[in-house]
Amino acid sequence: MNDDFLFSEDEPDIAEEEIAEPYHVLIVDDDEEIHTITKMALGEFKLDGRPLEFHSVYSGEDAIEFLQDHSDIAMMLLDVVMETDHAGLDVARWVRETRKNRLVRIVLRTGQPGQAPEEDVIARYDIDDYKEKTELTYRKLVTLMYSCLRAYRDLKSIERNKRGLEKVINASAEVFSARSMQGLCQGILEQLVALITLSDDAMYCRMDSLTASSNTNEPFEIIGGTGEYQDAAGQPVKTEIDWEIVRPMQQNSQNVDFRIVEGNYYGLYKTSSSRQYLLFIRGVRDLSELDQNLLGLFVNNSSIAIDNLQATENERQAQRELLYSVGEAIEKHSIDEISHHVKRSAEMAGQLVIFSGATHEQAEALKQAASVYDIGKVSVQMELAQRADALSIHDYEEIMQKVIQGHDYLNQTDSNVAKLAAVIAQDIHERWNGSGFPNQKSGTDIDFNARIMSITSHFDALRTQRNYRDAEESEDAADYLLQHSGKFFDPELVGLMLDNLDAMEKIRHRYLDKH
């Protein structure tokens, strides 16, 4: 049998113009002739259509230096005896133990078998084969290359799949830690495009199947985007999507379905809450079966996370509205009209604390606490509270004392929101310069949330119409904060408030009073 035909079934037809990535083989031997013979014998060798690329070094020391800069070596033909009688063994130990490289296939070759007995070397060193140079005929050398490179190929595939799985797990952990819908959707897309796409263009869309028909694309709304779609959140889906591809997926009984058409990924995920999530990614790379399964698992779990987060946000919103109603009921002791002063002050405080670097969770807690911290007003006589334009010192102290009593009431519960509200109630009337009430605290000794609430509450109160005075313009209310910056209010927070006055005014317009 001609050796040229050995293992020919493993060599697929490759077009001559295609250039496949070669397997890198390192020859480590102090005999130049060994390098020449090996390269000549294996010059035409291919596995899976991939040729060999040889690299030559002539000592163990040079091999270590070379391997420090090259991590893509598939196989190493390593002489045992070079500058020392055990130079090759030292290299093998360094690769496995110091470099922690378990992928490269190591074949020891020796011309002096008595120097390092085969049984002892195989037992002590993590190598793949041990050959005497005289026994390595062409046929045995080719057989050796096939067995070692196949093992390397399969180990690389396992390692690549392992890294892919780790990426998905890490991405899931990062994504699912998000506490806002926008943050969650953005996190999902950023992780996905990093995993599978050749571009940054991706969008995540949602449709409520209970209120929409699958015969139209109108109900789909973009809830997150990257690249070209980064600023498209909240908009209906109008472009890019081929609905002839999506509609059959909607009618499919499977909860998870996807198509890759002309390099674009369409994934449809249906949750138990009767919502449909459409993922569109433009320009995906070729996906293996494992990639496709992991992608489907990741995005399906992401859609469940979005549903759960939506339910949580709905619950938070309902809780917030209830607390705002309580707060407004408290506030009605001091004004005649139906006012959203409490809601506006709380929403502005939540926005201001985010501008200061706080998390959305911290902002949410502050907004809830801001709704009830003033509970002490309930015990203030209505007629006394309504005389806020002409109070005597005695009247003022009586009101303040009742308001401060709200701290003691709120502090009796184990709720984190109530405890935060209690701290705000205790410090809300303190002033930056120490002239406040009841403990004459100053500067940063005053609770941070109380300092924020003091600013947003004063600003909104000045901007709100009262039965005893007209509402001030935004510029005048801002001037009041600026004039009292460093006296009543934290100057840094005042600056932050004034820098973001447009955002605060948008909140005010969202919750206008009814007269």
Which positions are annotated as active-site residues?
Answer: 377
**Contact of 71 with 98, CB cutoff 8 Å:** no
Single out the residue of 484, 509, 512, 510 nearest to residue 497, CA to CA. 484
Number of H helices, E strands in the chain: 17, 11
Count the Cβ atoms, other than its own, within 10 Å of residue 17.
5
Separation between Cα atoms, residue 247 and residue 167, nearest integer Å? 31
* Strand extents, DSSP E, 111-234: 129-132, 202-208, 221-226
User: What residues contact residue 398 under an 8 Å CB cut-off, 6+ apart?
Assistant: 380, 384
- Cα 90 from chain centroid? 43
Single out the residue of 239, 247, 210 nearest to residue 222, CA to CA. 239
Separation between Cα atoms, residue 458 and residue 446, nearest integer Å? 17
Separation between Cα atoms, residue 126 and residue 95, nearest integer Å? 10
Count the Cβ atoms, other than its own, within 10 Å of residue 124.
12
Separation between Cα atoms, residue 190 and residue 175, nearest integer Å? 9
Separation between Cα atoms, residue 97 and residue 87, nearest integer Å? 15
Nearest-5° Cα angle at 13, 7 to 19 = 110
Give the DSSP letter string of 355-370: HTT--HHHHHHHHHHH
- 3-class DSSP state for residue 27? strand
Q: How far is CA 1 from CA 139, 143, 144, 146, 183, in A?
A: 11, 15, 18, 18, 66
Residue pointed to by tokens 């138990």: 272
Separation between Cα atoms, residue 259 and residue 512, nearest integer Å? 48
Separation between Cα atoms, residue 302 and residue 178, nearest integer Å? 11
276, 282, 288, 289 alpha-carbon torsion, rounded to 10°: 20
